Amino acid sequence: MTQPRSDLPVVRLRPKANARAIRHGAPWVFADELVVDRRTGKLPGGTIALLEDADRNAMGVVAVNPASKIIARMLDRNPQATIDTSWFAGRIARALDHRERLYERPFYRLIHAEADGLPGVVVDRFGDALAVQPNAAWADNMLETLVDALQAVTGAGVFVKNAGGRTRALEGLDDRSDVIRGSVGGPVAVPMNGAVYLADLTGGQKTGLFFDQRENHAFAARLARGQKVLDVFSHVGGFALAMLAGGAENALAVDASAPALALASEGAERSGTGTRFGTRQGDAFAVMEGLAREGARFGVVVCDPPAFAPAKPAREAGLRAYERVARMAAGLVADGGYLCLCSCSHAVDMTAFRDASARGIGRAGRVSQLVHSGSAGPDHPVLPQLAESGYLKSLFFRL
């Protein structure tokens, strides 16, 4: 049996904690599952510690944050593990090997948090530039070590710290983003699905581009040949540019962000589809109402909104919002056309999302076939023991 390290503070599960689930791969320990005495309660956020079960058997090395509801995150089930540059490099190299089998060009999600063995860490790769989200206290504390390992393994020269994730606040972390190595001269051109996207790594939403929808963009492009298409909550042209590259007659992108639509327009120009691309800036619901009054109809309508239910307390309100989106969007789809509805809400599972979408379509007086269900691409692996790692849901209906 591997002997545990003796130089780390020890934290211990309560007798009623589900130690079996943790041994079988669950990566999180919640605050009510851990003995939080005066010593544990005073540990600085992000402290590396040894986790024991209630019988004092070593379970592995964890990162502890007494200020978070997720009080401990499993880093390594080997109780002798040392969390250093070499350890990071091993996890990163394994993740990189998987992505390089999938994609010829270096544009993808490189690290998908717990599913890649780096809890709370998200890294998106844009060629020579890496956008790093250290969304847990331990990763924020060890950011320089993490970047050293990323640079050694990938050879990248530009690193941007993105601190916009909502989970950072839950960890007691700041929201200050910065370029921490190299320099960013402007938006980065990203080739994907036959189109060119512009990603703003320093001022855009999340890390600048949503790689998770890549496979769903490609499926939508197959449906869009020869069609007029509408992309609502478009961001930098996600679905619209892919559908144009796939042969759509023209595309209209709708988003509240004027800077995002400007990047979408530039992407269309670089893709050679600028003359077939248009935008409307404004509230998505108001724009859809306006299009309905105009009698507009599209062969494909896509709605990819932000998370309406990022946590359980917002679940019911979020489901009502998804139903409303489906009802409004369904009225804009031509007979025999397609409606794609997406959700990135952790608190809404596929069944609930599908039911809310179907209710909305029915309320619009439309009859539908569900022709395809999608999720995030293979550069966003799912940890089977953590439902939250499989957050993205895309439904394609024919009306």
Statement: residue 104 has pLDDT above 70: yes
Q: Are strands 58-64 and 70-76 parallel, antiparallel or unpaired?
A: antiparallel
Q: Report the percentage of the chain scoring pLDDT > 90.
A: 92
Which of 303, 340, 342, 344 does the annotation list as catalytic? 344
Residue 14 burial (10 A CB sphere; 0-12, 13-18, 19+): middle
What burial class does residue 333 get, using C-beta atoms within 10 Å of its C-beta: 0-12 exposed, 13-18 middle, 19+ buried?
buried
For residue 3, the model assigns a pLDDT of 65
User: Does 344 participate in catalysis according to the annotation?
Assistant: yes
Q: Are 73 and 96 in contact (CB under 8 A)?
A: no
- Owner of token pair 């409606």: 339
SS (H, E, C) 319-339: HHHHHHHHHHHHCCEEEEEEE
Beta-carbon contacts of 326 under 8 Å, excluding residues fewer than 6 positions away, are 303, 339, 341, 356, 357, 358, 359, 360, 361, 364
Class of domain 188-398 (CATH, top level): alpha beta
Compute the average pLDDT of residues 326-343.
98
Between CA 78 and CA 210 the distance in angstroms is 34
Would the pTM count as exceeding 0.85? yes
pLDDT at 251 (0 to 100): 98
Distance (Å, whole) CA 250 – CA 241: 10
List the single range of 92-106, 200-214, 337-351, 375-389 with lowest mean pLDDT: 200-214
Q: Are strands 250-255 and 228-232 parallel, antiparallel or unpaired?
A: parallel
pLDDT for 223 equals 98
pLDDT tens for 271-302 read 999 999 999 999 999 999 999 999 999 999 99
CA 274-276-281 angle, to 5 degrees, is 80
85-181 and 188-398 share one fold: no
How far does CA 144 lie from the centroid of its chain?
Answer: 23
Q: Which residues of 150-186 are buried (b: 16+ CB within 10 A; e: fewer)?
A: bbebbebebbbbbbebebbebbebeeebeeebeebee
Kindly state which CATH superfamily the domain 85-181 is placed in.
Answer: RNA methyltransferase domain (HRMD) like (3.30.750.80)
Q: Tell me: the pLDDT tens digits for 223-282?
A: 999 999 999 999 999 999 999 999 999 999 999 999 999 999 999 999 999 999 999 999
% the chain with pLDDT above 70 = 99
State yes or no: pLDDT of 197 exceeds 70.
Answer: yes
The domains of the chain are located at 10-76, 85-181, 188-398
CA distance 31 to 53: 14
List C-alpha distances in Å: 95 to 82, 118, 208. 19, 10, 21
Residue with structure tokens 């320093």?
A: 202
Q: Which of 308, 295, 298 shows the shortest CA–CA distance to 278? A: 298
Mean confidence (pLDDT) of the chain: 95
pLDDT score, position 2: 60
Query: Distance between CA atoms of 28 and 64, rounded to whole angstroms?
Result: 10
207-221 tens-digit pLDDT: 889 999 999 999 999
CATH of region 10-76: 2.30.130.10
157-166, 181-190, 348-357 — which is least confidently predicted? 157-166
